[in-house]
């Protein structure tokens, strides 16, 4: 089968950073689905792994953690899907990735593809939807009010991949006032179109930007990017006993900034459930089915903004470079396997 991989971690400008290769078609076991991949999207985790993680032994490493496709075969313990079913999912970081014609994934973390979306539109959603949903409802517990706080959530980085779906979920699935950050006119308009009540500029001091809204101190803050840059402002603006969740990898920040306000700090990593095979791992499949339903009901929309074809090393390099630049709006998706080049 066709795939894209690498043997040595490298900058995306390196010819060997991503290479068109041929690999054996995998065979499903246990709860596995063998999925014929129709489209994949690129997330920051893709370039972080590509830059830092070598393959085991002399093998090729295939990355990619978002896909939409058709179930081709199922393992002996799989009961949720059958060959021919159309699915979307984000996979597990501990297994080979989705940048291949056929991919193995545990059925418990797979959802049914929204009928209203094409392959590329669907592939834009899984990883970011799981991340935002878990952050809001499993980590921040946004349905539990913070006494005295403004019923509001600040989403730092509202125009990125996670931010773009987080704004929608917060608006559609909670009663919170949604404040999102964006610094350029095009990203500000994008975030407004997704349903944010207020858009503020994260190139300016966030505490002053939030105070100017005259809403009061928000109960919740969800930081998707540059947490180390904004942490002092977040500690200043968040309500006492508020809840703060981050998903990025700051080199470090002073947790003691939050002690006086007794703010709880939460990390969200959507790979945690599949990495550890947690007893509630199947929540991700149910979550994605819920997202699919909301899309088909017109309550959520795809965050796809850039579409490339076919799935090959050249197009994946282009997508990696764009996401790595930090200027991407929404999601970059690559669809369809074509001739290798």
Q: Domain coordinates of the chain in residue numbers?
A: 2-127+297-335, 145-267
Alpha carbons 2 and 312: distance in angstroms, whole number? 9
CATH architecture under which domain 2-127+297-335 falls: Alpha-Beta Complex (3.90)
CATH of 145-267, one of 3.40.50.720, 3.30.365.10, 3.30.360.10, 3.40.605.10: 3.40.50.720
Q: Report d(CA 132, CA 163) in Å as an integer.
A: 8
Least confident of 24-38, 45-59, 118-132, 275-289: 45-59
* Token representation of residue 248: 């990025």
What is the tens place of the pLDDT at every residue in 175-229?
999 999 998 899 999 999 999 999 999 999 999 999 999 999 999 999 999 999 9
Task: State the average pLDDT over residues 272-287.
Answer: 97
What pLDDT, on the 0 to 100 scale, is given for residue 334?
A: 98
- pLDDT classification of 270: cutoffs 50, 70, 90: very high
Question: Edge-to-edge strands of the sheet including 198-200?
Answer: 198-200, 177-181, 150-156, 218-223, 243-246, 264-267
| Cα separation, 56 vs 70, whole angstroms | 28
């Amino acid at each position: 089968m066709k795939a894209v991989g690498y043997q040595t971690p490298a900058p995306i400008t390196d010819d060997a950073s991503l290479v068109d290769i041929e690999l054996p078609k995998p065979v499903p076991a246990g709860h596995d689905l063998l999925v014929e991949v129709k489209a994949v999207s690129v997330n920051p985790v893709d370039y972080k792994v590509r830059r830092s993680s070598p393959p085991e032994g002399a093998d090729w490493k295939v990355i990619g953690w978002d896909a939409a496709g058709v179930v081709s075969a199922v393992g002996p313990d799989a009961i949720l899907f059958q060959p021919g079913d159309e699915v979307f999912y984000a996979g597990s970081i501990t297994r080979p990735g989705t940048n291949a014609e056929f991919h193995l994934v545990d059925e418990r973390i797979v959802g049914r593809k929204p009928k209203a979306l094409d392959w590329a539109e669907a592939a834009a959603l899984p990883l970011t939807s799981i991340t935002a949903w878990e952050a809001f409802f499993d980590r921040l517990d946004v349905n539990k009010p913070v006494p005295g706080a403004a019923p509001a959530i600040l989403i730092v980085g509202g125009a990125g991949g996670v931010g773009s779906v987080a704004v929608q979920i917060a608006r559609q699935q909670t009663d919170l006032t949604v404040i999102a950050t964006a610094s350029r006119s095009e990203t500000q308009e994008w975030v407004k179109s997704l349903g944010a009540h207020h858009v503020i500029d994260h190139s300016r001091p966030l505490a002053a930007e939030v105070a100017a809204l005259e809403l009061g101190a928000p109960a919740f803050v969800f930081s998707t990017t540059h947490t180390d840059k904004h942490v002092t402002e977040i500690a200043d603006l968040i309500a006492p006993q508020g809840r703060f969740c981050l998903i990025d990898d700051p080199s470090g920040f002073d947790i003691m900034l939050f002690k006086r306000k007794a703010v709880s700090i939460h990390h969200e990593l959507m790979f945690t459930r599949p990495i550890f095979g947690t007893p509630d791992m199947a929540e991700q499949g149910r979550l994605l089915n819920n997202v699919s339903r909301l899309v088909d009901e017109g309550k959520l929309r795809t965050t796809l903004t850039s579409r490339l074809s076919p799935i090959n090393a050249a197009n994946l390099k282009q997508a990696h470079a764009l996401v790595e630049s930090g200027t991407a709006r929404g999601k970059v998706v690559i669809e369809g396997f074509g001739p290798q080049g």
